[in-house]
Amino acid sequence: MILHSKLIPLCFCLLVLFACNSAKEKHSGMAADSSSINNIQFKTAFQKSIDGKNTDLFILRNKNHVEAAFTNYGARILSFQIPDKSGNLTDVVVGFGSIEAYQQSTERYFGATIGRYGNRIANGKFKLDSREYSISINNSPNALHGGKKGFQDVVWDAKQLNEQTLEFTYLSKDMEEGFPGNLQVKVIYSLSDDNELIINYEASTDKKTILNLTNHAFFNLNGEGSGTILNHTLKINAEQYTPVDSTLIPLGEIVALAGSPFDFRKAVRIGERINDDNIQLKYGKGYDHNYVLNPGKNGEMKAAATVRGDKSGIVMEVYTQEPGLQFYSGNFMKSKNTFKGGTNDDFRTAFCLETQHFPDSPNQPNFPSTILKPGELYKTKTIYKFSSDK
């Protein structure tokens, strides 16, 4: 349910990029002739039938003319347009120009809702009540982000509640990808008049299961196609992190950040220490680690991180109810995919800050539990708040 008049400002901005760059695109599904590109075509690029369900494009817009675009394929965010320090609209979420491009990408997770289990589960196995469950291995030897067909690859039911609120729902059936229980999931995206992207997650199950939902937006606060994110400054409100083995599974230890290249307690350039001679950095090919966030008051939102784009002056603050934050510095981006503006997904040209419970928690008894039982309501919220230097 889309109001076409609401599509015009965002689509015009995005399609100017397509008109300039579409000849370079390999997988976007958009026409190469810039004269044929228009708003209807952009919308049509996100309309497809997958597994008998229809995908579409949805737009949220606030009173500040800030706009965000979404699709129900993977319940994902496609674009977020925010003014930079000079007042120029800047798309800080990198992504693709069509459903086909997301389907064909070598990186499945751009902008998507991740589940059932965000991050890794060692060897794709865990136990509940002495029964062992096996999840599809898709990041050998481990399961990553829910298995071979996670929530990023399914079509969600969508309902646009108003021009600033969008609801996605999905029924993950018992033993889908090996997870027990019929799981009813709801993700609500809201765009506030304070330029906050608010993500509310809810879920319930009819059998005991494990659950760890997150969003996998890739950000570049200087704008998609602007180059490296290594000169962004980052602060993470954490004193500790969970080091990993060579397959990026936590060792079970919770280690202090002080004196390590992982210390972002004060704002530091992302690239300041990323090439240090450190075994953890070598395992992740850069930053790809879970931070143990400083606790807030029980159940309340807490400040998790602050990032600033060095060129744009755009600032993103992250708030969450989750205990952890995965910082990923784009180490596996390999220039194999073409973004909606015509540039490639080059090495370290985007970063992720995924709010979460810890990786491999079902196999780590000292980590916060990710078990969800029948009769319980999984409910958590994350906020990405945007502003800019004046």
Annotated active-site positions, please?
Answer: 216, 354
How do beta strands 57-61 and 67-71 pair? antiparallel
C-alpha Rg value of the chain to the nearest Å:
20
Q: Which residues pair with 314 in a beta bridge?
A: 388
298 CB-contact burial (10 Å; exposed 0-12 / middle 13-18 / buried 19+): exposed
Q: Where are the beta strands (DSSP E) in 262-308?
A: 268-269, 288-293, 302-308
Amino acid (one-letter) located at 355: T
In which element (H, E) is residue 354 found?
A: strand 352-356
Integer angstrom CA distances of residue 41 from 18, 93, 243, 248: 11, 21, 46, 41
310 and 344 in contact (C-beta within 8 Å)? no
The alpha carbon of 318 is separated from its chain's Cα centroid by a whole number of angstroms, namely 12
Torsion, Cα 190 387 90 145, to 10 degrees, reads: -50
Q: Show Cβ contacts of residue 368 under 8 Å, excluding neighbours closer than 6 positions.
A: 323, 357, 358, 361
Structure tokens at 101: 């491009």
Nearest to 57 by CA among 68, 66, 65, 278: 68
Nearest to 18 by CA among 32, 2, 3, 4: 32
In the chain, % helix, strand, coil (3-state, to 5) comes to 15, 35, 50
Q: How many residues does the chain have?
A: 390
Cα separation, 213 vs 119, whole angstroms: 9
220: CB partners within 8 A, 6+ apart = 92, 94, 226, 229, 309, 349, 350, 351
Residues 6+ apart with CB under 8 A from 344: 335, 336, 337, 338
CB 54 within 8 A of CB 38: no
DSSP 84: -
